Amino acid sequence: MTTSSYPDSITKDNLLETVVEMSRLREIEDISDFQNLNNRFVAGRGLFTGRTTPSSSSDVLATDSEGDIANDGTYEYKVLDFSGTLKWDRRLLDTAWAAASTGALEFIETQVASTSAVIDFKDGIDSTAAVYVIFISDVVGSANQALRMFTSTDGGDNFDTGSTDYSYAVQGLEAAGSDNDIKSGGNAFCQIGAGTSSSYSAIIELFNPSATSETGWYTRYISSALMSTAMGRRLSSADVDAFRIGSSTGTFTSGRFTLYKILHA
């Protein structure tokens, strides 16, 4: 690379002359650097070479420069400076893209409530996973409300609300220390938490909804007033392909509802 001798100091008497000379030198350097780049002689640029791949780390030619790269489809070779001595470094190429990790959470969708009567999940529920998880976080309701869930077998065009479509058992503990347990052997909805609240979070794990058998779920729920766990199921041997989160009264003023699936291992 070209090196120049710019003046050490500039005075008002030689200002114009110095600026002209510096411009001339800079133009020469630019042209020189461009030519050197074309000739692969600018160090550290990571340039791919057309030369035969090296036979050893010391197989360095006079035309090789630090940063030069070559590959033979199996290894990538790069010229490095080892304490003033140029040598080739060799690394095994990995051109295989990793498949999606099995057993890991895969994001499907997030919905943010804004005075929402219900939250529906209609996409991404299929046979690629046996477990789905809905994270319900920091929900604020327009009133004290009970959280409920519904299922669909036609992609969410219709949700099951028959009087005996669901069964559930909820074990709750209020902040004051008293128990609050509820259960139903047949209802038009599935209760998620015990009692009512206007501020809460929950996790719903649904098992094998795409199978033509009864879909079951396990839930955890917490609010400022109580915490609870629950189990529920859809009392029909049919594949479920959509979920609805609703409430006993009012709307979801705010909050986040996120659906994931756990891929088959």
| Residue 2, pLDDT score | 47
Higher-scoring residue by pLDDT: 210, 83: 210
Whether the CB-CB separation of 191 and 182 falls below 8 Å is answered with: yes
Cα separation, 108 vs 132, whole angstroms: 10
Q: Which of 64, 67, 84 is nearest to 76 (CA)?
A: 67
Do 157 and 255 fall within a single domain? yes
Alpha helices in the chain (DSSP H): 15-38
Q: Are residues 142 and 179 in the same domain?
A: yes
pLDDT for res 241 = 94
247: burial class by Cβ within 10 Å (0-12, 13-18, 19+)?
buried
Over residues 19-24, mean pLDDT: 66
Which domain-ending residue is among 92, 119, 143? 92
Q: Average of pLDDT values for 186-206? A: 93
Q: What is the mean pLDDT of the chain?
A: 83
The answer to whether residue 40 scores a pLDDT higher than 50 is: no
Residue 162 has what pLDDT?
95
DSSP state of 52: P
Is 99 contained in some domain? no
Residues paired with 202 in a beta bridge: 136, 221
Residue 177 has pLDDT above 50, yes or no: yes
Same domain? 64 vs 141? no
204 inside domain: yes
Q: In 3D, which of 156, 134, 139 has the Cα closest to residue 259? A: 134
Whether residues 125 and 23 fall in one domain:
no
Query: What DSSP state is assigned to residue 68?
Result: -
93-118 residue pLDDT tens: 776 665 656 667 889 999 999 999 99
Please say whether the beta carbons of 262 and 102 come within 8 A: no
Is residue 90 a contact partner of residue 76, using CB atoms and an 8 Å limit? yes
Same domain, 174 and 226: yes
Q: Please say if the pLDDT value at position 18 is more than 60.
A: yes
Looking at per-residue pLDDT, the higher value among 91 and 168 belongs to: 168
